[in-house]
Amino acid sequence: MGTTILPIDDVTEALIAQWRVIGELARALDDDAWSAPSVLPGWTNADIVAHIVGTESMLDGRDVEATRTVSALDHVRNPIGELNEKWVDHYRPKPRAEVVAALDEIIGVRTAALKAMSQSDFDAEAMTPAGPDTYGRFMRIRIFDCWVHEIDLRDGTDRSAVADPGPASFALDEIGASLPFVVGKRADAPKGSTVLFDVTGVAPRTVRIAVGDRAGVVDEFDGGDDAADVRIRLDATNLARFAGGRRDADPSAVELHGDQALGQAILSRMNYVI
């Protein structure tokens, strides 16, 4: 049974706002920027937009034929990557106007579908990229994915900053839900460890992780925040880059206090995104 219960109106509003920003960025790219290599291996900026069209199209039950075998490509690492590449290949030869029109069309369809749902629909169990949970959790993951790709588009063009705290807040909630996995599993923090993430910038927050039999988010530490074994302070967009394994993740912009070895292990293993 899914356990992540999220307010349908707030999540829907944030996802629609995030789609809107992606559309604005796509329209603002000139021809050179549209076809230029993105920050993602093997993809142009146009391919990022096509990927978003493809993912939302899949959620609408659509499919396209694969035009080649992509499993051997260096940047394709799993079946989800193969699905993504199939849609990118489908749109790659199409002119920008057609891709942007496809984005507008599928956003309209998905917006109508979300607005027709009830809270109970949102709370129903669904398979998500993070495993079985609620459909609402899946839509929060969609906000996260689109928000990270907004950062990708900005990093690959004018380096402008994300600004809307609404979608960013849900995206960072999603990252926060995965930080216990990063700390406890990927970084192998020993039992009894405490780690504090001080996230600055858009939608700032503090995330506290305590490692017991399993790592989990806690409201406070015994002894307060200063007692944390590791304190990591970084900007929200830099956190997203680390989570996504992006080339522009900047270790020099991270303040790391406490257990340096554990802190470095966390940073070096932060890239949990599929």
Q: What are the pLDDT tens digits along the chain (274 aa)?
A: 679 999 999 999 999 999 999 999 999 999 999 999 999 999 999 999 999 999 999 999 998 887 766 665 656 565 566 778 889 999 999 999 999 999 999 999 999 999 999 999 999 999 999 999 999 999 999 999 999 999 999 999 999 999 999 999 999 999 999 999 999 999 999 999 999 999 999 999 999 999 999 999 999 999 999 999 999 999 999 999 999 999 999 999 999 999 999 999 999 999 998 6
Residues 253 and 186 in one domain: yes
Asked whether residue 71 falls in the same domain as residue 118, the answer is: yes
Range of 48's domain?
8-160
Co-location of 15 and 122 in the same domain: yes
| Euclidean distance between CA atoms 98 and 104, whole angstroms | 10
Q: How many whole angstroms separate alpha carbon 186 and alpha carbon 180?
A: 9
In a domain, 167, yes or no: no
Q: Is residue 3 part of a domain?
A: no
Count of the separate structural domains present in the chain: 2
Task: Give the CATH number for residue 198.
Answer: 3.30.1050.10
Residues 27 and 156 in one domain: yes
Name which of 11, 274, 273 is nearest 123 in CA terms: 11
CA–CA distance, 36 with 40 (Å, rounded to integer): 11
Name the residue among 93, 23, 32 with its Cα closest to residue 56. Answer: 23
In a domain, 274, yes or no: no
- What single-letter amino acid sits at 47? D
Do residues 212 and 255 both lie within one domain? yes
Alpha-carbon distance values, 19 to 14, 113, 118, 120, 131 (Å): 9, 14, 21, 24, 24
State the pairing for strand pair 194-200/230-235. parallel
Residues 48 and 139 grouped into a single domain: yes
Q: Are residues 99 and 181 in the same domain?
A: no
Last residue of a domain, one of 160, 194, 210: 160
